[in-house]
A = this chain, B = another copy of it.
Amino acid sequence: MMPEEAELARVTEAVRHVVHGVGIPRPAPEPGATPPVHLWQGVESYLRTGGKFLRSALLLWACELMGGRRTAALPVAAGVEIYHTWTLVHDDIIDRDARRRGGPSVHEEFRLRGAMELELSPEAASHYGLSLAILAGDVQHAWAVSLLAGASEISPEMALRLIADLETDVLRAIAEGEALDLLLSHRPLSAMDEGDILDMMAKKTAALYEFAARAGAVIGLGQYSPDHFLVAPLAAFGRFCGMAFQLQDDILGLEGEDQELGKPVGSDIREGKRTVILHHAWRRATPDQQERLMAIVGDPAAKEQQVREAIALLGSLGGMEYAARLSRGYLDQALLELQVLPDRPERRWLEAFARSMVSRRR
């Protein structure tokens, strides 16, 4: 194991401990009280099945690079992880994703269990799964905030500034990014615009990475100064990592393995998700190829064979290659930001972190 991998394992373990050890106290399952039990199982679902804790690691290393103590930032790191999780739960409803992290998504799990355990009709079971997933995400949202509010080793002023930052600018970006994602998927492929797609990625994904880096940095600094000459580059580093991560995510969604992804390869094709891959390929496609893409992309009922055809087409038109080039470009920008930061071990971990955004296979 490389030193930075060992370090990531240590960080992940520490955050996992906080996630599973504190927060909203879990009610003991009462006999017969089925839905609170389902609700709390929904709340813990994605946290139980894993997650890479990347945002937490970013936050903790940013804190330590600025001279702060890891323990001071731990509850905030756990809060960021859980904040990310609630956006996934609600996003999976919106994107109609039935799988996540190798298991059913929350709304899908409780659709199945509503049918089996509560013997609901298919329609009622669907609505039950949807309802429980909305509530589970709401609880996680509140849980994340309460972890920040309860962070005892940072000053009350700092905790409040971090909560305000997360719940105004960051939340606004995430919600607008989701809404933009929703709209773009309803526009014709011919009206795709790369600027819109990058804007959507910046809001939906990079904003929370940027927050994680900024939060860690100001905690390490001991005062909430987002414009500080070392905090600002760390925040930018986080943002660029987020962009590189999302581009690689889009590539893996087409080229990865089901098992490593935790969801079916090609689901982005059926959903009609707008990516720079699709945009780049579309601009280079012949009218015949565009017609093929139009017939498959965005069709939830597209056959396995058709999805494979579309992926091959996107590949041969250079879509994945282009996204990989863009991703490396963001990596380079991230590494440039690191240059101005103190030469400490955490800087090397952050460098490895940035490189893993591009090289990861899951």
A interface with B by C-beta (< 8 Å) = 24, 27, 33-36, 38-39, 90, 93-94, 96, 118, 120, 124, 127-128, 130-132, 134-135, 137-139, 141-143, 145-146, 149-150, 155-157, 159-160, 163-164, 166-168, 171-172, 175-176, 178-180, 182-183, 186
Also in contact, A94 and B134, with CB within 8 A (given A124-B186, A171-B139, A186-B118): yes
Please state if B143 and A179 are interface contacts (CB–CB under 8 Å): no
Q: B120, B142, B160, B182: which contacts A186 (Cβ < 8 A)?
A: B120
Q: What are the residues of chain B within 8 A of A127 when measuring CB–CB?
A: 96
Instruction: Please measure, in the bound complex, the distance between the C-alpha atom of A143 and the C-alpha atom of B168, giving whole angstroms.
Output: 7
Copies in the complex: 2
Please state if A90 and B146 are interface contacts (CB–CB under 8 Å): no
Please state if B168 and A90 are interface contacts (CB–CB under 8 Å): no
Please state if A34 and B183 are interface contacts (CB–CB under 8 Å): yes
Please state if A145 and B118 are interface contacts (CB–CB under 8 Å): no
13 contacts across the A-B interface (CB closer than 8 A) = A27-B176, A36-B179, A39-B175, A131-B178, A131-B182, A135-B178, A135-B179, A141-B141, A143-B167, A146-B167, A150-B164, A155-B156, A156-B160
Q: Write the chain B residue with the least CB distance to A155.
A: B156
Instruction: Please measure, in the bound complex, the distance between the C-alpha atom of A192 and the C-alpha atom of B150, giving whole angstroms.
Output: 39
Please state if B182 and A164 are interface contacts (CB–CB under 8 Å): no
Please state if B134 and A149 are interface contacts (CB–CB under 8 Å): no
Q: B35, B138, B159: which contacts A90 (Cβ < 8 A)?
A: B138
Q: What are the residues of chain B within 8 A of A90 when measuring CB–CB?
A: 134-135, 138
Please state if B145 and A179 are interface contacts (CB–CB under 8 Å): no
> How near does chain B come to A255, taking the closest CB pair, in angstroms?
28
> How near does chain B come to A253, taking the closest CB pair, in angstroms?
20
Q: Write the chain B residue with the least CB distance to A120.
A: B186
Q: Which of A96, A134, A159, A166 has the most CB of B within 10 A?
A: A134
Q: What are the residues of chain B within 8 A of A155 when measuring CB–CB?
A: 156
Please state if B172 and A24 are interface contacts (CB–CB under 8 Å): yes
